[in-house]
């Protein structure tokens, strides 16, 4: 996938999932905080489960599509790992990308199992997601041997976002329901997504004017550019968060207050998922 589209595609996935996470967790946080005002009615536990299962299903289907695409594109390996006639490994790049998708697929399956049955321990979904991010970073880490300085550098910067995402997920296993960690995950996912696009623009510029991959000034600019992407991701999450908070509040104001006796059992349901662990 050494082309512009090959970086824009995963970039878009990560951008969407970052936005999705920022919105989802903001909504749930607003619900939890305004429970006394009747916000429990907005997202019950049953709704939350359905949303999680939907998220898991989407993640599984996209990863399966990704794996199949990597294998069966015209110049893909078509499940052949070793070329016996020429005695070398066949299209390792595609295999590596398929392996990355494989772990996100496992993470998606785990989300499905955790939220549709009661058998799996809580926190397993975050754990597997953390492993998927770690695995992505791990493969990129040993991916860069012998490339140009700037090429190596832009991929190394990506590692901050992937390993940061993995660390965030692992912390979430122990501090489940912490809104800051959840938004941080959204932020790092957005950062990763927009950086994939940036890598595409740097290494395969659509304008056709190539960057000098050995220029020290380009390195310094790219580093700073990464910080701007981070600032942009932080701002996006902040905008999503405050929009959600405002919408929830204005809705609650318009809703007629319920009687306390009716409200209580539903509230409990709404919060129990985060407190079972």
Q: Residues in the site for a second copy, rule: CB under 8 A? A: 29, 88-89, 92, 95-96, 99, 102-103, 106, 119, 121, 123-124, 127-128, 131, 135, 138-139, 142-143, 145-146, 160, 173-175, 179-180, 184, 216-221, 223-224, 227-228, 230-231, 234, 242, 245
CB count, 10 Å around CB of 34? Answer: 17
Closest distance between a second copy and the C-beta of residue 8, in Å?
23
What is the DSSP annotation of 4-37? HHHHHHHHHHHHHHHHHHHHHHHHHHHHHHTGGG
Closest distance between a second copy and the C-beta of residue 99, in Å?
5
When the beta carbons of 106 and 203 are compared against a second copy, the nearer one is 106
When the beta carbons of 143 and 266 are compared against a second copy, the nearer one is 143
When the beta carbons of 5 and 145 are compared against a second copy, the nearer one is 145
Closest distance between a second copy and the C-beta of residue 225, in Å?
9
* CA distances in angstroms from 45 to 31, 37, 195, 207, 274, listed in the order given: 11, 17, 35, 49, 10
Closest distance between a second copy and the C-beta of residue 108, in Å?
14
Q: What distance in Å separates the CA atoms of residue 199 and residue 191, rounded to the nearest whole number?
A: 12
When the beta carbons of 80 and 175 are compared against a second copy, the nearer one is 175
- The residues facing 88 across adjacent strands are 83
When the beta carbons of 8 and 115 are compared against a second copy, the nearer one is 115
Cβ-based burial of 192 (10 A; exposed 0-12, middle 13-18, buried ≥19): buried
Closest distance between a second copy and the C-beta of residue 259, in Å?
26
Max distance between CA atoms of the chain, in angstroms, equals 77
Q: What distance in Å separates the CA atoms of residue 68 and residue 101, rounded to the nearest whole number?
A: 10
When the beta carbons of 249 and 266 are compared against a second copy, the nearer one is 249
Closest distance between a second copy and the C-beta of residue 75, in Å?
17
């Amino acid at each position: 996938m050494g082309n512009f589209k090959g970086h824009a595609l995963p970039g878009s996935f990560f951008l969407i999932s970052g936005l999705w996470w920022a919105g989802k967790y903001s909504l749930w946080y607003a619900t939890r905080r305004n429970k006394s005002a009747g916000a429990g009615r907005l997202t019950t536990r049953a709704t939350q489960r359905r949303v999680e299962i939907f998220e898991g299903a989407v993640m599984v289907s996209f990863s399966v599509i990704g794996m199949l695409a990597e294998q069966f594109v015209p110049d893909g390996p078509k499940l052949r790992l070793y070329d016996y006639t020429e005695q070398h490994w066949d299209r390792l790049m595609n295999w590596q990308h398929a392996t990355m998708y494989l772990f996100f697929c496992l993470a998606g399956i785990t989300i499905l199992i955790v939220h549709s049955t009661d058998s799996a321990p809580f926190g397993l979904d975050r754990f597997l997601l953390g492993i998927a991010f770690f695995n992505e970073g791990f493969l990129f880490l040993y991916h860069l041997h012998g490339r140009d300085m700037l090429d190596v550098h832009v991929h190394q910067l990506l590692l901050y976002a992937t390993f940061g995402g993995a660390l965030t997920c692992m912390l979430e296993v122990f501090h489940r329901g912490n809104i800051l960690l959840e938004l941080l995950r959204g932020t790092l996912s957005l950062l990763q997504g927009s950086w994939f696009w940036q890598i595409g623009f740097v290494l395969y510029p659509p304008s056709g004017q190539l960057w000098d991959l050995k220029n020290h000034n380009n390195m310094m600019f790219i580093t700073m550019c990464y910080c701007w992407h981070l600032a942009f991701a932080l701002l996006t999450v902040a905008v999503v968060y405050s929009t959600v908070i405002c919408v929830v509040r204005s809705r609650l104001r318009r809703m007629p207050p319920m009687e306390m006796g009716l409200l209580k059992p539903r509230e409990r349901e709404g919060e129990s998922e985060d407190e079972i662990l």
